[in-house]
Amino acid sequence: MAVETLDRNTPKAPDPHKGEPIPAAAMAEVERLLSSGDLFRYTAPEGAPVALLEAEFAALLGTRYALAVSSCSAALFLALKALDLPRGAKVLIPAFTFAAVPSAVVHADCTPVLVEVGADFRIDLEDFRAKLDGADAVLISHMRGHTSDMDRIMAECDARGLPVIEDAAHSLGTVWKGRNIGTIGRIGCFSFQSYKLVNAGEGGMFVTDDPELAARAVIMSGAYEHNWKKHPGLQNSYHHWQNRLPLYNMRMQNLSAAVVRPQLPQIEARVSAGRRNHDYVAERLQSSPAIMVPSALPGESRAPDSLQFNLLGVARDEDVRAFQNAASARGVPVQVFGLSTDNARAYWNWRFLGDLPDLPKTRAMLMRACDLRLPARLTLPELDYIADAILGALRDTVSA
């Protein structure tokens, strides 16, 4: 039948929201945990899946301590609390990030200071330097895996004694001049939410080399009574902080760890597939003069699971919308951060912060920056499908 032939030979538009498949080993472990009822990380005297995951993750990244928590937002909150910043402390964050980031800052009783982000999706270093005086800490979101220049950021912050937290929610597997992203600042935070490289539905990780910060975060994550004895690290520090810090209960449960652990050995393959997918589609898209894909910084080895590009020379919002509609009609949804109502990555929607500054560079970028999910599992014909759909949509609208 004609329809069957078409289905076999023509790839369908891939579903960009499908998460990474969960390895079979996770299913067996989840079943074992469900039948034993051993779901709480602190029940077993040793070898709980969450504790094993922490040890494996620390070894993978080359950090001394890793603490598994319920989300990256929880890790960011604990990072700010572990630094013991005073109430109202000013924390610099990029104005292009997910709303969970300024939310974690206000949750920790601190005040976010939004820093401009350029057309390359990275923090604007001039605005960053201008806002450093008076700041108490810096939280760098490597948004969508775009690494800001960590050499310059660390040099500026070290010179002023400012602690740096890295929000590496999208950057697991990214390497900056031989160092894993998330291990350059004092604390790194990762996400295992489904649209990230490792998919646990929800989950996060806090990493640090600093034993005091680790001890404080472990206690506050909910290691009540003497459960901290099940964590490696300075036992005297734990003992010191016992009962002196609040317990926020942001622990990871064993089921999530069971889902994450078998995915760790797959990270390397997912990173190279993600990079291949990104670079392949980027090259095809850049054949159009209306598209600019910012390149990696020198020294940055990326681990992308999505692709961002800027529309060039498109003055009118309605033309961008027409392009989006045409791509969507081909089965490829393209998000333009600043154009969709209530977008959580458009800083002007963070009204919970009160008065919001005008940030013209970030605003201009958000109005033309296009976002496309490109999970590692996509095949070459699917990547071609996506590139064809976007170039076709451009031809029919913007470049028509």
Ligand X SMILES: Cc1ncc(COP(=O)(O)O)c(C=O)c1O
Q: CA of 86: how far to CAs of 55, 66, 255, in Å?
A: 31, 25, 36
73 binds ligand X (CB under 6 A): yes
Alpha-helical segments (H) within the chain:
2-9, 24-36, 49-61, 72-82, 100-107, 125-132, 150-160, 211-222, 235-241, 254-260, 267-285, 317-329, 360-368, 380-396
Q: How far is 86 from 80, CA to CA, in rounded Å? A: 10
167 binds ligand X (CB under 6 A): yes
DSSP class of residue 67 equals E
Segment interacting with ligand X, rule: CB under 6 A, options 71-79, 129-137, 360-368, 376-384: 71-79
- Contact yes or no for 132/92 (Cβ under 8 A): yes
Q: Residue 344 Cβ, how far from ligand X at the closest point, in Å?
A: 8
Q: CA of 194: how far to CAs of 169, 201, 243, 251, in Å?
A: 11, 5, 35, 18
182 binds ligand X (CB under 6 A): no
Q: CA of 321: how far to CAs of 35, 117, 181, 288, in Å?
A: 51, 23, 35, 18
Site for ligand X in 18-47 (CB under 6 A): none
Give the nearer residue to ligand X in terms of CB position, either 127 or 167: 167
Give me the 261-300 binding string for ligand X, x by CB under 6 A, dash otherwise.
----------------------------------------
Q: Residue 144 Cβ, how far from ligand X at the closest point, in Å?
A: 7
Q: How far is 324 from 322, CA to CA, in rounded Å? A: 5
Q: Residue 31 Cβ, how far from ligand X at the closest point, in Å?
A: 25
Give the nearer residue to ligand X in terms of CB position, either 54 or 382: 54
Site for ligand X in 337-366 (CB under 6 A): none
Site for ligand X in 189-248 (CB under 6 A): 191, 193, 204
Q: How far is 262 from 258, CA to CA, in rounded Å? A: 7
Give the nearer residue to ligand X in terms of CB position, either 26 or 101: 101
Q: Residue 373 Cβ, how far from ligand X at the closest point, in Å?
A: 12
Give the nearer residue to ligand X in terms of CB position, either 101 or 398: 101
Segment interacting with ligand X, rule: CB under 6 A, options 53-61, 93-101, 248-256, 331-339: 93-101
Region of residue 85 (phi > 0: left; psi between -120 and 50: alpha; otherwise: beta): beta
Give the nearer residue to ligand X in terms of CB position, either 294 or 331: 294
143 binds ligand X (CB under 6 A): yes
Give the nearer residue to ligand X in terms of CB position, either 136 or 167: 167
71 binds ligand X (CB under 6 A): yes
- Contact yes or no for 188/169 (Cβ under 8 A): no
